[in-house]
Amino acid sequence: MRQFEVTIDNEIGSMAEICETLAKARVNIRAIATELRDTVGVIKFITDDEEMTRQSLNAAGFNFSEYEILPVKLMDRPGELAKLARALSNLNIDIESVFLLSRDNGTTEIAFKVNNLKNARELFK
């Protein structure tokens, strides 16, 4: 699973342009978050079609990065995310971003971008 990050000038309509680009390519956004860094906006998202996302962002000329992320299913109850965050911390793994992907039948699926994917995967074996 991949996380895409598009860096744009923080201007009205910038997010609309990115979403329209993906919509024209029939790419569905599964999760999205934004952040402002001074005058630059960062739009982070996960889609249902990574190759088409990459192609459409390139064709439209957007400046973007992509990262492999780790999807994890947790029980949907208090403290589960805290346990996971502590376990990653105990392994000296930094959580760089988190997305809520779904909640269904007592479970929650989240996706993490971490600084050490290999060690994080070991935790979930």
User: What digits encode the pLDDT tens for the residues 54-78?
Assistant: 999 999 999 999 999 999 999 999 9
Reply yes or no on domain 2-68 having CATH 3.40.50.800.
no
Q: What are phi and psi of 51, to 5 degrees?
A: -65, -45
Where exactly are the structural domains of the chain? 2-68, 70-123
Against a cut of 0.85, is the pTM above it? yes
Q: How does residue 39 score in pLDDT terms, banded at 50, 70 and 90?
A: confident
Q: What are phi and psi of 79, to 5 degrees?
A: 95, -15
Task: Give the pLDDT of residue 125.
Answer: 74
pLDDT digits (tens, 9 = 90+) for 87-103: 999 999 999 999 999 99
Helix (H, G, I), strand (E, B) or coil at 121: helix
Task: Please tell me what DSSP assigns to residue 38.
Answer: T
Q: Which CATH number fits domain 70-123: 3.90.550.10, 3.90.245.10, 3.30.70.260, 3.40.50.720?
A: 3.30.70.260
